[in-house]
Every structure is written in C-alpha cells, then in structure tokens.
Amino acid sequence: MLSKIYQLALCSVIALAGQGIEPAAAETAAKPEITDPHFQLASGYLKQKDLPDSLVLLAPPPADGTATLARDEELRAATIPLRGTPRWDLARADADLQFPQPAKNFSCAMGVDIDEEKTPHLYRLMQKVLTDAGLSTYGVKNTYNRTRPFVVHNEGTCYPDQEPLLRTDGSYPSGHTAAGWAWALVLSEISPERADFLMKRGIEFGQSRVICDAHWQSDVDAGRIMGAATVAKLHNNAEFLSDVAAARDELKTAGAAEASSCVAEEAALSAR
C-alpha cells in the first residue's frame, strides 16, 4: 500500500516542480499572521527578515482540474486503509508538536533518548528549529489559505482536538512537514551515522500529514522545500552552529532510546 503512495508522491513532486519557478507573489518583509501557536512556543534562531521566503520559493497550490490536484486526491484515497491502524496512531503522535512529543518521535531514529534533562542542547535545538521552519511557511499559507482535505471531504483527522485550528490555518505548505524535514536534516548533521534512519523518519513524518487527512501531498512536498531552505539559512547563524556542536558532544553520553517503543514504531512504519 505505502509503496504505491510513495510512487505517486514522487510524481507529485515532479508535477509541483513543473508548475514553474515564477514567484507566487512579490517578496515581502512584513511579519505574517501566525495561526498555529505551535510555531511560537519558543523563540527561533532566525529573525523574520532572515527566514526563507515561501512566496519566492513556491509556486501556488494546485488549481482545480490539474494533474497535481488529481494526484493529491489519489494519494489521499490510497491512505484510507491505514486509518485505525498503528500507522494511523503514529500519524497522530507526529501531529502533536507540543514538546516533549517531537523529541520522542525522533529518538528511535536518532538512536538516543532525546530528553530535556539528558540532552538539553539537542532538545532546545529541536524547539527552536520548529519555530523557524514553521514560520517559513506562512507567506504562502496566508496568501492562498488552501482548504484542507478533511474539510473538503467532510471527514475527521487523526487528531480531532486540532481540527478547529486546522480549519483556519492554510493547508499549503505543510508547517509540520517543514519542521519534520528540517529536524531530519539537522539531526543527520549532528549524527551522520544515523542519517539514513533520520531521513527516513523525516519522510514518514511528512507522510503522516497525508495519512492524518490534515494535508494534501502537494502541501507536504512544498513543506519539505521550506524545511530544507530553513536549514540552509540556519547555517549562517552562529547560535545554531554552536548548538549543533554542543548537541554533537551530548550524544557521547546520551542513553539509548527505549527498545520496546522503537520496535513498535518500526512495525508501524513497515505497514503496507
């Protein structure tokens, strides 16, 4: 089941790129309206003017009648059999951006227990990257305010408590995915020997948004672009680079992630 989803997702990425590289709108330095409070839980590393500009980097969301929108619908339909399964439960866990849950979500891939007391620099870094990556999406989010799939299809998501917020927060691009992909990239830099596991977890983190019925696949694809662009910007920030070095040192004494939870996560991610 998921292999088909990933094949279709690749087609969606290609189609999204094929929409052209013309800016969706003029670059703006104005601070956007932030409708998801998760992206304001901690101060980020970057000032507003230093964030990547989604209005420059992204094409508009897919229009009615386009092949990309048709793929969005096909990919959504392909995830329906996963509802109520362990993979659905994992998507619910991925939807929760309130710490410590994101740290737990990446602990197995990292191979260590990411914890506020055991790995304070790594924990803090994840919190701050969440803010930067999430905020990077709001230029386009606010411009187009794309309707989410669960609203279009009059359904629920894997996280009902978030639905009132999601109805007012634009679907394109996915802020969750931007954060998840940024985390995967940064954590891979901190622990390169775990890079394959971390990148795979970052991919799955984004796909959780489609499985959850909270985002379209093209939202997720665009979110990954913004996550990567954010990480590129972060490499010009001295505080970020210092925290990366400190987090790398922490790993030398960090305890391993809980084996039982990692077995369950791997089983959920292996579902087909």
Contact criterion met (CB below 8 Å) for 200 and 265: no
Specify the range with the lowest mean pLDDT, choosing from 28-32, 145-149, 197-201: 28-32
Active site residue 169: no
Task: Give me the helix-helix angle, 259-269 and 101-110, nearest 10°.
Answer: 90
- 244-247: which pairs have CB atoms within 8 A and are 24 or more residues apart? 244/125, 244/186, 244/189, 244/190, 246/121, 247/119, 247/121, 247/122, 247/125, 247/190
38 an active-site residue? no
| Catalytic residue selected from 72, 94, 169, 219 | 219
* Average confidence (pLDDT) over 41-68: 96
Candidates 71, 121, 148, 176; catalytic one: 176
Quote the CA–CA distance of 89 and 214 in Å, as a whole number.
Answer: 14
CA pair distance 28, 30, nearest whole angstrom: 6
On the question of pLDDT at 141 being above 50, the answer is: yes
Mean pLDDT of 1-28: 42
Helix (H, G, I), strand (E, B) or coil at 21: coil
pTM over 0.85: yes
| Selected catalytic residue, list 38, 194, 201, 209 | 209
Residue 272 binned pLDDT confidence (cut-offs 50, 70, 90): low
Q: What is the pLDDT of residues 79-119, one digit of tens each?
A: 999 999 999 999 999 999 999 999 999 999 999 999 999 99
Asked if the model's pLDDT at residue 29 lies above 60, the reply is no
Domain spans, the chain = 2-269
Q: What is the CATH number of domain 2-269?
A: 1.20.144.10
- Nearest CA to 39 out of 238, 234, 227 is that of 227
Q: Give yes or no: 209 in active site.
A: yes
Is 215 an annotated catalytic residue? yes
Catalytic annotation, pick one of 76, 194, 215, 224: 215
Residue with tokens 């679907």: 171
